[in-house]
Amino acid sequence: MMPDLGKYAFAVLSSYGVTIILLSVIVVISFWRARKVRAALDEIENRRGN
């Protein structure tokens, strides 16, 4: 299944590896911060509502 990358395996796999890591980091951070900020806003709005 894995294509034969020959002598360029390091260059190709490193490129894909770095890309997957960086994209995963920005996606995870974006969701994590979205959740955190939403929870903080909900808490303040509930407090003000009471």
Partner 1 sequence: MSLWEYANPVKFIRTTDKVLPWVWALTGICLVTGLVWGFFFTPDDFRQGSTVKIIYIHVPSALMAINAWLMMLVASLIWIVRRHHVSALAARAAAPVGAVMTMIALATGAFWGQPMWGTWWAWDPRLTSFLILFLFYLGYMALWEAIENDDTAADLTSILCLVGSVFAVLSRYAVNFWNQGLHQGATLSLDKEENISDVFWFPLLVCIAGFVLLFIALVFLRTQTEIRARRTRALLAREGQA
Rule CB under 8 A: which residues touch partner 1?
A: 1, 3-9, 11-12, 14-16, 18-19, 22-23, 25-27, 29-31, 33-34, 37-38, 40-41, 44-45, 48
**Shortest distance, CB of residue 50 to partner 1, whole angstroms?**
13
For partner 1, which is the closer residue by CB, 8 or 50? 8
**Shortest distance, CB of residue 27 to partner 1, whole angstroms?**
7
d(CA 18, CA 48): 45
Angle at 22 between CA 34 and CA 14, to 5 degrees: 165
The DSSP string of 11-27 is HHHHHHHHHHHHHHHHH
